Structure 1
Amino acid sequence: MFPRTRTARRSATLVGAAAFALLAAGCGGGSAGGGGSASGQDATLVAYTGQAGDYQINFNPFSPTKIGGLGTIYEPLFFSNKAQVSDMVPLLGTEQSWNEDGTVLSVTLREGVTWSDGEPFTADDVVFTFDLLKKTPSINNIGYHGKATAVDDTHVTFTFDKPAFVKGPDVLSNTPIVPEHLWQDVNPVEDVVEEPVGTGAYMLGEFKPQAFTYTANPDYWGGEPAVKDVRYLALSGNQAGADAIAAGTIDWQTGPIPDIQNTHQNFPAYDAYTQWQNQAVLATCSDAELGCEGPQTDPAVRKALYYAMDREQLNKLAFMDTGNEVSPTFALTPSQDDFVSDDVSEAVAPMQADPAKAAQILEDAGWAKGGDGIYAKDGEKLSLTVEVVTGWTDYITAIDTMASQAKEAGIQLQAAQSSWNEWTEKKGSGRYELVIDSLWQGPAPDPFYLYTYFFDSGSGAKVGETSGNNFARYDNPVVDDALAELAGLPLDDAAARQPHFDAIQTEIVRDMPYIPILTGGTTSVWKTAKFTGWPSDDDLYAFPAVWSAYDAAEILKKLQPAG
């Protein structure tokens, strides 16, 4: 049966303590302190992604309000490991190659794959998916503009008007393939998919607002996974997640717990693992011409906030010293330092606050300090609201800390907490002043992908319309032109590429539509007493975060019950 679709719902409620207790009791686990081990091959893995408030069912892989399905249900052609430089892992595709000038990418598809409704997977599904991206700009977050052609059932070519080497990783590993026979009449922007059909190792089982379950696909082309059921819980936030770790009732979360550096000593059934990749930011609705309103549309305000932050204090108070330096260029430091332009005066953001410099920037832009110590301009007080998800305790603490720091620079800052669904809607529609969030890396260790995702005007939108990844609504022709030039150059031609990185970085450091906070230490806490095969320094086969969907899907396939 075709997945039912309807208009997305907007409301959400928090899960109360009683509801959590019932969920925990029904999800397996063990004694307090993280005891308990898997009982047989049908053990359920219980995960928490940070979802604060009830789930609203939506397994449309292109929707900004999707709650899951990427990788687990809907697979890309290949898997690209963001955690380390390595070859792509074949999934629906088995081989790929470019022609000499980078205008044709040829892909061989896996034979014998079926959709979970029993229909065969063919090259026509791949062509349909990429045609869908091309004709729907708001879901085309990879900036795909090629022409996909089915040579036969197991071979596809992607043809581009000019060299497109850098598009390869996104085309191959960052696009979920959907079935043409079910998606021909779907609106990929607005429709909610309740009964997803994919080629992945898992299918949707039971759904309730407080939790949903994936069940293993017995006909999966790679063999039925050993973890037979995966249950995702909706809790009330980070504290509930930490409490569940202490009680031993969840098996995997990527989020803070007290004294996280000593997880195994405190909870012997668990271990913790940290990677530094996602860059925490205060994202701004930046472009007044696109409908953004508020003081943050002034680049001077954004730059002043940048210098008002004491990042050492933020790291200590909000992130338990798990954060790392961040570059205002958003080249990942230190692994991408070679990409940082010599024209950028600060390769990394200052770790101490400089309120005097922040004040000077504001005064040079025409802001004047009022009697209450807060700046104002043209009758508008420099007061800003930061949107955050209820229960995200680390981010809430970060905002509270930044508010105190910003006040020293004459800026008023306050948090507005809402459910994840409401927060996502505000972010996607542009109805906000500031949002605390993270920018993520692309499918290769290269800043081109982050720039394409978050700074390309093509994935922005007017306020009130749903944006792609460029939810700051940044619109800069210089950046767009440089991205277009980079798209035609081989990834290994550093000399030809660097002038375009220089151009991008000059613009985004000056304009700062995303205000850098820190590079977040992404720490997962997982139950090693119940499952084996988690990523490690010796085998970092995927980025170890439960909310990094494609990576999590690979981890779920790799795990084995320990019982």
Structure 2
Amino acid sequence: MSRIRSESRRVSIAGAVTLSLVLAGCGAGGGAGGGGSDTLVAYTSQSGDYQINFNPYSPTAIDGPGTIFEPLFFYNIARKDKPAPRLGTAFSWNKRGTELSVTLRSDARWSDGQKFTADDVVFTLDMIRKTPGLNSTGYSGTATAVDPTHVKITFDKPSFSEGPQVLGRSWIVPKHIWSKIAKPSEDVMRKPVGTGPFKLAGFKPQAFTLEANPDYYGGAPALKKVRFVTLSGNQSGADALKTGQIDWQTGPVPDIKNVSKNYPGYRAITVPMNQAALFTCSNADLGCSGPQTDPAVRKAIYYAMDRAQLNALAFENTASEISPGFALPERDHALVSAGLTDRIAPMRPRADKAAGLLRAAGYTKGSDGVYAKNGRKLALTVKVVSGWTDYITAVSTIAEQLKKAGIKLTVQQVSWNEWSDARGRGQYQLLIDSLSQGPAADPFYLYSYFFSAKTTAPVGRTANPNFARFKDTKVDAALDALEAIDPQDTAARKPYYDTIQTEIEKSMPYIPILTGGTTSEFNASKFTGWPTEDDLYAFPAVWGRPDNSQVFLHLKPAT
């Protein structure tokens, strides 16, 4: 799950390598983007040297999923498309949701020339089930090869919700190579062999290059090379765009509305997807401590925020409305519960509501303007990663907003390692992060990741990824019920979504800020075929996997 959650779009400015040195070191030259007309130079916000790792199941993989190692199908999380065939061509469930049948391609080969068959799929799924370090989603199916192009996967109970995980996020690996690996969760795959549209052409700590697979079953991609470079931070990324040295990055740049003017030949696209929130260590029963364990305090913070101001100051108005039930207001519009007190979080503060919640919880405002209870001031600390400029601005602005509401908030900038460790172990009061979407355009996966009792742990032990330590029997029961219902049966699923959303709103373990607008800038003068708002065929984030591979397959040199 950490691969799903991790967003490398915000990076520390503390990089040691200068732009010119990096691009020179990776052989830049020959036109815009620092490469030839058929080479795309990508910047994923990597700061510091790359450490080689092309294991698609490793949380520290630098690439591989989608580009080198393929899923059976591509699921578009940006809109509700039908799954697009990759190594699979068709699939179907039995009526109970206990048996999944998959038809495979007959013309795919591994990049070392060996033929791809059902045995590779069965081996991959068995390896995932038997290896805890790979099985981050709790896959428990049993796969059987019916013949070289057909696989049957059986489950002990109805498991419709497993479909997108198994079909869209299981990276199929070659049995003839991986069966000889003693510890598949630890191997870094220095020489990856896959069926994908690209192969590894070369690796250096400052950059690595993928090249088109000439024997790809879909035909060699028109995009002949992709070079991933490391720069020293956000400013270097903007500078590289300005000079035409990179072709695609995902992250904020100054004056985002005028990218085509400020960066001639480039365009930008913003897609609402990951939901920014103040994560709280919310559950006192699991060891959390502090004022934030009181739902009244969490909801007072929610009502004290001025989201319109936050959007303007921290996110250049690229963010959008958020629902306290965490269904995406645009993509999941039909699923946003009518039972919520607020279908959409208020964009302007409601000071009266915040004050009423605190008074009802026993807080009184002192002469200094800060609320207190039992002699203790309502003071909290929020952790943010040093260098995450948009989030630093956001929490600093929130601190000023909460001050007006009688809540003292202290911003603590820490390293990513310290922030990540505190988040996992529950050793924090508040921190800022995003709730990410799952493998399909369905809020079920976000709920099962961040709100299930199965994915949390007591303070001191690592939760993954229910970092708020939220536990609710009604939510858990609704999640169990949803697993057994066909995802196409929206009417049958709706009551369970209503339950989940209303229970989440009551407790508010993750305090909604805004739906983050994921913005990418790309070289439209050098390549055609980029996703647009009218044709959002993939989530257009350079660090999105396997989404970036789907974009690479669509691109063609403009000249």
Q: Normalized against structure 2, the TM-score is what?
A: 0.87
- Maintained 8 Å contact 2:35/2:41: no
Partners of 2:217 and 2:313 in 1: how far apart? 47
- Which of 205, 216, 223 is 2:219 aligned to? 223
What does residue 197 of structure 2 align with? 201
What does residue 546 of structure 2 align with? 550
**Matched ranges for 1:214-253 at <5 A:** 214-253=210-249
Partners of 2:545 and 2:328 in 1: how far apart? 21
Between the aligned residues of both structures, percent identity stands at 58
- Which of 84, 104, 113 is 2:108 aligned to? 113
SS in 1 for 2:167: helix
- Maintained 8 Å contact 1:138/1:459: no
Q: CA deviation at 1:550?
A: 1.3
What does residue 508 of structure 2 align with? 512
- Maintained 8 Å contact 1:286/1:513: yes
- Which of 243, 253, 257 is 2:253 aligned to? 257
Q: CA deviation at 1:186?
A: 5.4
Residue identity in the other structure for 1:341: S
- Maintained 8 Å contact 1:236/1:391: no
Q: CA deviation at 1:96?
A: 0.8
C-alpha deviations, 1:151-190, integer Å up to 9, x for none?
2332211212333333322321122223444266555666
Cα separation, partners in 2 of 1:141 and 1:325, compared to 1, 3 Å: farther
Q: CA deviation at 1:393?
A: 1.8
SS in 2 for 1:498: helix
Greater CA drift, 370-379 or 265-274: 370-379
Q: CA deviation at 1:245?
A: 1.6
Whether 2:43 is the aligned partner of 1:44: answer: no
Structure 2 portions without partners, runs of 5+: 1-10
Residue identity in the other structure for 1:310: D
- Maintained 8 Å contact 2:17/2:232: no
- Maintained 8 Å contact 2:269/2:533: no
What does residue 3 of structure 1 align with? none
Q: CA deviation at 1:203?
A: 3.3
Partners of 1:26 and 1:319 in 2: how far apart? 33
- Which of 347, 351, 356 is 1:355 aligned to? 351
What does residue 391 of structure 1 align with? 387
What does residue 529 of structure 1 align with? 525
Cα separation, partners in 2 of 1:354 and 1:227, compared to 1, 3 Å: same
What does residue 484 of structure 1 align with? 480
What does residue 498 of structure 1 align with? 494
Q: CA deviation at 1:370?
A: 5.2
Partners of 2:488 and 2:290 in 1: how far apart? 42
Partners of 1:149 and 1:384 in 2: how far apart? 53
- Which of 124, 127, 147 is 2:142 aligned to? 147
- Which of 149, 165, 168 is 1:173 aligned to? 168
- Maintained 8 Å contact 1:72/1:553: yes
Q: CA deviation at 1:366?
A: 4.1
What does residue 456 of structure 2 align with? 460
Residue identity in the other structure for 2:293: T
Partners of 1:187 and 1:371 in 2: how far apart? 62
Residue identity in the other structure for 1:76: P
Greater CA drift, 286-295 or 345-354: 286-295
Residue identity in the other structure for 1:434: L
- Maintained 8 Å contact 2:370/2:378: yes
- Maintained 8 Å contact 2:28/2:35: no
C-alpha deviations, 1:23-56, integer Å up to 9, x for none?
134557789xxx8378756x43222223344444
**Matched ranges for 1:259-298 at <5 A:** 259-298=255-294
Structure 1 portions without partners, runs of 5+: 1-11
**Matched ranges for 1:66-77 at <5 A:** 66-77=61-72
- Maintained 8 Å contact 2:74/2:546: yes
Cα separation, partners in 2 of 1:291 and 1:191, compared to 1, 3 Å: farther
Whether 2:446 is the aligned partner of 1:450: answer: yes
Partners of 2:201 and 2:414 in 1: how far apart? 28
What does residue 80 of structure 1 align with? 75
C-alpha deviations, 1:292-346, integer Å up to 9, x for none?
4544333333222211210000111111111111100111113423222232111
SS in 2 for 1:549: coil
Residue identity in the other structure for 1:243: D
Whether 2:398 is the aligned partner of 1:402: answer: yes
Q: CA deviation at 1:192?
A: 5.0
Cα separation, partners in 2 of 1:432 and 1:488, compared to 1, 3 Å: same
SS in 2 for 1:130: helix
Q: CA deviation at 1:490?
A: 2.0
What does residue 120 of structure 2 align with? 125
Whether 2:339 is the aligned partner of 1:343: answer: yes
C-alpha deviations, 1:71-90, integer Å up to 9, x for none?
12222110012223322111
What does residue 8 of structure 1 align with? none
**C-alpha root-mean-square deviation of aligned residues, in Å?**
3.1
- Maintained 8 Å contact 1:143/1:458: no
SS in 1 for 2:45: strand
Partners of 1:466 and 1:220 in 2: how far apart? 41
Cα separation, partners in 2 of 1:442 and 1:148, compared to 1, 3 Å: same
- Maintained 8 Å contact 2:308/2:347: yes
Partners of 1:199 and 1:463 in 2: how far apart? 42
- Maintained 8 Å contact 1:430/1:471: yes
SS in 1 for 2:161: helix
Cα separation, partners in 2 of 1:377 and 1:247, compared to 1, 3 Å: farther
Residue identity in the other structure for 1:108: T
Residue identity in the other structure for 1:144: Y
Q: CA deviation at 1:527?
A: 0.7
Partners of 1:446 and 1:79 in 2: how far apart? 14
Q: Normalized against structure 1, the TM-score is what?
A: 0.87
- Maintained 8 Å contact 1:202/1:215: yes
Partners of 1:453 and 1:540 in 2: how far apart? 25
- Maintained 8 Å contact 1:38/1:561: no
Partners of 2:459 and 2:155 in 1: how far apart? 31
What does residue 20 of structure 2 align with? 21
**Matched ranges for 1:291-306 at <5 A:** 291-306=287-302
Number of residue-to-residue matches in the alignment? 548
- Maintained 8 Å contact 1:286/1:297: yes
Residue identity in the other structure for 1:89: A
Greater CA drift, 180-189 or 98-107: 180-189
Partners of 2:13 and 2:309 in 1: how far apart? 30
Q: CA deviation at 1:552?
A: 0.8
Partners of 1:380 and 1:176 in 2: how far apart? 52
